[in-house]
Chains A and B, each alone.
Chain A
Amino acid sequence: MHLCRVIGTVWATVKVDTLTGYRLLVVQPVSHDLTEKGYPVVAVDTVSAAPGQLVYIVKSREASKALEEPFNPVDAAIVGIVDELRTSS
């Protein structure tokens, strides 16, 4: 599970059926000190996140389990919005 900042939205009318009804957000993975880490990815939103918010995503096969329809072509899903991030280092 990875911390990410929501930086944008993808609009796609022509897409696989199981993705209809879901928002596609562009997220930038960040480290625990909020510095950017790696490249932005597009993730399906399941928690109504908004641009600018700090969220966390699940990647690979497990991401598809965040949606109702069990079989869907999703490899990144936003599964939570961070209220507070406490780190010691």
Chain B
Amino acid sequence: MFIARVIGEVVSTIEHPTLRDKKLLVVEKLTERGDPTGDSQLAVDSVSAGEGDTVLVLDEGSSAGLVTNLDNPPIRTVIVGVIDSIDIED
């Protein structure tokens, strides 16, 4: 899983059936200290994350099927949590 910030959204009407009712958010990877890395990607939302939220993003297929409760969907990146705070030992 990686830490990211929601920076946008994708609206799409022509898509794979498993994505039909899913919200697609644009997330930018953050370092563990919360600094943007400039590396962005799309992720399926499963926790109603909003723009500007710091989120936890799953980046692995088999669990994506469990979280979206779909049978073997072509989905890899799923937002699985909204992060309240991160403590890093200095």
Q: Hey, which bits of chain A sit against chain B, CB under 8 A?
A: 1-3, 31-32, 46-48, 56, 58-66, 70, 77, 79-89
Given contacts A56-B42, A65-B72, A89-B28, contact A80 B14 (CB under 8 A): yes
Q: Which residues of chain B in 40-62 are interfacial with respect to chain A, using CB atoms and an 8 Å cutoff?
A: 40-44, 51-52, 61
The size of the chain B interface, using a CB distance under 8 A, is 32
Q: Hey, which bits of chain B sit against chain A, CB under 8 A?
A: 7-16, 19, 24, 26, 28, 36, 38-44, 51-52, 61, 64, 72-77
**Total A-B Cβ pairs within 8 A:** 98
Determine chain B's interface SS by DSSP, over half rule. strand
Interchain CB contact (< 8 A) of B12 among A31, A60, A80: A80
Determine chain A's interface SS by DSSP, over half rule. mixed
Q: Are the C-beta atoms of B43 and A86 separated by less than 8 Å?
A: no
Q: Are the C-beta atoms of B42 and A86 separated by less than 8 Å?
A: no
Q: Are the C-beta atoms of A85 and B8 separated by less than 8 Å?
A: yes
